[in-house]
Structure 1
Amino acid sequence: MKPMCEKVIPSSNSSWRFVKYQLPNIDFNWHYHPEYEICLTLNSQGLRYIGDHIEEYSEPDLVFVGPHMPHTWHSSINEDESTQIVYVAQIPKLWLDGQVAEHPEMQGLEEMLERSSRGIFYSPESTEKALSLFQQMESADPFSRYILLMNLLNVMLKDAQSKLLSSRFFTYGDKTDSGIDKLDRVIEYIYGNFDRGLYADELAAIAHMSTNHFHRFFKKRTERTLTEFINQLRIGKACKLLINSNHPISVISDQCGFNNISNFNRQFLSIKGSTPSRFRKSLRLKHAQ
């Protein structure tokens, strides 16, 4: 089966992506991407596929996968129907390689990054430490999360019991995927026009797809619906305006492409856990202290 190329979008105000999944089970999703990936799987058991390596796993399971390495996990629903948890950090290769090249303190990571091209499995001791760091990332601000990521890489680097997974003979040479070019064109268009009404049919036309096909395509590639992606982008812009301007909230709502203030307040609360007015007030209180 040919792996699918996944488009990774960094978290808000970050150079990399952090996400926590809570799932009834993990579906087989054979894919690759240009980013490094650190994956911690909990309360789950099944099969782990990394390159040409297939192995049974049980929780907890910590693996580091290098860029363009096809991989997936696959599990069934637990007998007690309890939730399976997956923490993921996806880190752009150019960014992390640049960090290592520019900072002498990080040059010890070079060998581990090279080894990740075969997938690296880590010891229970490192996995336990990684879990604590991932849990702290959940509520951390972007800068604190960056520091936690550096701590996580350091934990992995010091693990003398880590082991390689895929064989050194395995390479995935066919990295061409026309879907990536289509998605890049669509996302570029969204970024340039998110402050006005955007409709699925016009975006589908850019990708040369039917509207129904485009919705499925976008969700599979970004792990978000089109509406979720656009709203997150708009709320991110709104946060900057709330911080850096004194514009009334109704004006900011219009500038960010929301059709009415009620919808803006509802989406802001859903994504940020706060209303726009409370968000702005809390920032002003912090600055006044």
Structure 2
Amino acid sequence: MKPQLLKVPIGIDYSFSVRQDKMPYFYNRWHYHPEIELIHIETGTGTQLIGDSIQNFQDGDVLLVGSNLPHYWRSEDRYFAGQPDMWSTATVVHFQENFWGERFLYLPENRPIRTLLDKAKAGIRVTGTTQHRVQDLLARLLTAPGSERILLLLTTLQTIALSSDVTVLSSSSQFARISEAEADQINRIYAYSIANFQRKISLEEIAEVANVSPNSFCRYFKSRTRKTYSQFLLELRIGHACRLLLEGKLSIAQVCYESGFNNFSNFNKYFKEHTGLSPLKYQQQHRS
């Protein structure tokens, strides 16, 4: 997918940016930037796209997104209903890889951090005890004065770099850059698909959203995402099914149809292909 360049503002008094975002919903925009992004999603649930990876996000997630890697967070529909007590909150750090000098990461002591930032070019999810440790460090970083900011960021990256509680997300770190006009086109496809994947979306319908002919759409979409549109919809539906199974409010048959599948046997087949588990085993294993 070809995203839009985002310019990250950094004040003249700081060498990198750290902030806390509190808003009704997350960010709903496919974008990239040269800064590395470290994010703790404090509250919020929805769909996350990093590179060519499509997953759910939830309260507590910690992610490291490398330089120029496109990404997109879209909150669940319920966050768009304007409920006054429902907020999406995240602590977000942006920093250039060389903000502490061209040679700093090439010091022998910093080799693990340099390796980590190379991995982050495909996106990283941090889990386990490391996730909780990073959450605490980022909370301190929000209010840290002076050079303590740099020390805390360094400690945070070192903590992740020395941990095995990390998962690489995208199969690639190489994505083309495009104009703002084409980024708007891609974002229309994403937004429409995420809002409507629970029902059948015809080729003519999504081609009209993209403002291209039906004959051109499939080639257009695959050239930019490295997957077919039907594969993209399937991953959205499987991700939604995973969320519903973990909530445990619906039967597995209900989850099947609520996720946009019209055939229960196909649901079981595709779910196992993508997760390695049947829906029932997935629910039992992850809820336990």
TM-score normalised over the length of structure 2: 0.56
Deviations 1:73-96 (A, max 9, x none): 111345783322111111113325
Q: Which residue of 2 aligns with 1:173?
A: 176
- CA–CA separation in structure 1 for the residues paired with 2:103 and 2:56: 34
| Aligned partner (choices 137, 153, 170) of residue 133 of structure 1 | 137
Percent identity, aligned pairs only? 23
Q: Which residue of 2 aligns with 1:287?
A: none
Deviations 1:166-218 (A, max 9, x none): 013x521226679xxxxxxxxxxxxxxxxxxxxxxxxxxxxxxxxxxxxxxxx
**Comparing both chains, which one has the higher relative contact order based on Cα–Cα distances under 8 Å and sequence gaps of 6 or more?**
2
Deviation at 1:146, TM superposition (A): 1.0
RMSD: 2.3
- CA–CA separation in structure 1 for the residues paired with 2:91 and 2:153: 12
The runs of 5 or more residues in structure 2 that have no matched partner are 182-288
- CA–CA separation in structure 1 for the residues paired with 2:165 and 2:156: 16
Amino acid at match of 1:34: P
Where in structure 1 do 4 or more consecutive aligned residues deviate above 4 Å? 77-80, 175-178
CA contact (8 A) 1:28 1:74 kept: yes
Count the aligned residue pairs: 177
Q: Which residue of 1 aligns with 2:49?
A: 49
Is 1:161 aligned to residue 161 of structure 2?
no
Q: Which residue of 1 aligns with 2:63?
A: 63
Deviations 1:100-124 (A, max 9, x none): 4453321221211111111011113
Larger Cα-atom Rg: 1
Deviations 1:130-185 (A, max 9, x none): 111111122211311111101110111122021110013x521226679xxxxxxx
Q: Which residue of 2 aligns with 1:207?
A: none
Instruction: Trace 1:159-238 onto structure 2 (pairs within 5 A).
Output: 159-168=163-172, 171-174=174-177
Instruction: Trace 1:247-286 onto structure 2 (pairs within 5 A).
Output: none
| Aligned partner (choices 101, 112, 119) of residue 116 of structure 2 | 112
Amino acid at match of 2:127: S
Instruction: Trace 1:74-113 onto structure 2 (pairs within 5 A).
Output: 74-76=74-76, 77-78=78-79, 81-95=85-99, 98=102, 100-113=104-117
Deviation at 1:42, TM superposition (A): 1.4
CA contact (8 A) 2:51 2:69 kept: yes
CA contact (8 A) 1:13 1:142 kept: no
The alignment partner of 1:15 has SS state of coil
The alignment partner of 2:144 has SS state of coil
TM-score normalised over the length of structure 1: 0.56
CA contact (8 A) 2:128 2:165 kept: no
CA contact (8 A) 1:100 1:110 kept: no
- CA–CA separation in structure 2 for the residues paired with 1:97 and 1:57: 33
The alignment partner of 2:147 has SS state of helix
CA contact (8 A) 1:120 1:163 kept: yes
- CA–CA separation in structure 2 for the residues paired with 1:123 and 1:34: 25
Deviations 1:213-252 (A, max 9, x none): xxxxxxxxxxxxxxxxxxxxxxxxxxxxxxxxxxxxxxxx
- CA–CA separation in structure 1 for the residues paired with 2:112 and 2:63: 19
Amino acid at match of 1:87: T
The runs of 5 or more residues in structure 1 that have no matched partner are 179-289
- CA–CA separation in structure 1 for the residues paired with 2:17 and 2:103: 16
